[in-house]
Amino acid sequence: MDWVWTHLDLISSETLAHIGLSVPPIVIGFLVSIPLGYWASRSAVARSVLLTIGNVLYTIPALALVVLVPVVLGLSLLNPGNVVVALTLYAVAIMVRSAADAFASVSADVRQSATALGYSAAQRFFRVELPLAGPVLLAGIRVVSVSTISLVTIGALVGIPSLGSFFTDGFQRAFLLEAAVGFVLVLVLAAVFDVLLTVLGRVLLPWNRGLRPTAAARRVIAQQLPPIGAR
């Protein structure tokens, strides 16, 4: 345990780096997925094109994606931004599907009655469809959050520091405590993010409180998202 006390600085800086690499993909992934998911929910062609692209992206192992993204974009290979871009792509790949389901779960009746009440298209989207899609969107973003926080660690293999550095360093020195600290902190971060998102959901979706998750939300939560850690 001494190691922890003597390395608090390192632990906190790696944790901060980890958070810094995790937040942008989650936020950007969410924002990008909303319009894409909405489009996918309204057009079968868009849905199949977007989901197919998402699936292909998701099939690429993370270690390879972290390398290929900067090459394709012409960036430096050791830029921490690479992890952010790669994980944002994953986030979008997962989240577009959830968002498409979320908007599709808004019943056509509700949409039509909103139109009949005189909402403009934009008003209808922001005041009716987005709030009603909220619970499923929330379920989707929670999956993205857990996945992203776990995936950031892969960056350590190509020299981008995060809590994952404790895994590589711990293994090289056969030092269990260090690896375990990294492991626990990743889980703690994931849990903290999850709680934050849940609280945010409670605040933004007050009517959803106490309701059992809808079938669509449950499906998103239970989805066999393959590969989190390694992809």
Partner 1 sequence: MLLLQGIAWIFAPANWASVNSGLGIGGEILSHLFYTVLSVAIAAVVAVPIGLAIGHTGRGRGGAILIGNVVRAFPTLGLLAILLILLGFGLIPTLVVFVLLGIPPLLAGAYAGVESVDRQTVDAARAMGMTEWQILMKVELPLAAPLLLGGLRSSTLQIIATVALVSEFGSDSLGAFIISGAATQDYVEMIGGSILVTVLALLADALLAGAQRLTVPRGVPRGAGGRTTAGGRRILTAPSGAPISEGN
Using CB under 8 A, list all residues that contact partner 1: 47, 51-52, 55-56, 58-65, 67-68, 71-72, 77, 94, 97, 101, 104, 146-147, 150-151, 153-154, 156-159, 163-164, 166-168, 170-171, 174-176, 179-180, 182-183, 186-187, 190, 216, 219, 222-231
Angle CA 34–72–59, to nearest 5: 60
Cβ neighbors of 59 (< 8 A, separation 6 or more) are: none
**What is the closest distance, in whole angstroms, from the C-beta atom of residue 231 to partner 1 in the complex?**
5
* The two structure tokens encoding residue 226: 């393959």
**What is the closest distance, in whole angstroms, from the C-beta atom of residue 120 to partner 1 in the complex?**
27
* Residue environment code for 159-170, b if the CB has 16+ CB neighbours within 10 A, otherwise e: ebbbbbbbbbbb
**What is the closest distance, in whole angstroms, from the C-beta atom of residue 67 to partner 1 in the complex?**
4
187/211 with CB nearer partner 1: 187
23/63 with CB nearer partner 1: 63
34/102 with CB nearer partner 1: 102
88/98 with CB nearer partner 1: 98
**What is the closest distance, in whole angstroms, from the C-beta atom of residue 77 to partner 1 in the complex?**
5
119/183 with CB nearer partner 1: 183
**What is the closest distance, in whole angstroms, from the C-beta atom of residue 154 to partner 1 in the complex?**
6
Rounded Cα–Cα distance for residues 196 and 91 (Å): 18
53/205 with CB nearer partner 1: 53
* The two structure tokens encoding residue 11: 């632990």
**What is the closest distance, in whole angstroms, from the C-beta atom of residue 74 to partner 1 in the complex?**
9
